[in-house]
Amino acid sequence: MSENASEAAFTAALDRVRAARPDLDAIEAGILAALDLGLPGDSRAFARTFAVEHALVLRALTGLAEAGLVAVTDRDPRTQRTRYGAPPA
């Protein structure tokens, strides 16, 4: 998939998430859009890809996990890298 196609697919997924959940902030919606596209759930990779502070991604993941919208599957205690996925059905 080309970079433009990837960008367009992410933008479309982000628009769907924001329409369905206008209560989410931009990072939370971005995390859910990435999961919707089947991208691996890794907090550091997300932060690096979207040029966002890792701490902000971790904060968004905490809120999404508390709301039951994502499931945290692993967390490195030293680096705080957090792996996540869709919650169980």
> pLDDT tens digits for 25-54?
999 999 999 999 998 899 999 999 999 999
d(CA 75, CA 73): 7
pLDDT on residue 89: 75
pLDDT on residue 40: 84
Going along the chain from its start, the domains and CATH numbers come out as 3-85 (1.10.10.10)
pLDDT on residue 67: 96
Q: Tokens for 23, please give them.
A: 């209560």
- Angle, alpha carbons 66-34-87 (nearest 5°): 35
> pLDDT tens digits for 55-73?
999 999 999 999 999 999 9
| pTM for this entry | 0.89
Q: Tokens for 80, please give them.
A: 């705080």
Rounded to a whole number of angstroms, the distance between the first and last alpha carbons of the chain is 29
User: Residue 79 in contact with residue 29, Cβ under 8 Å?
Assistant: no
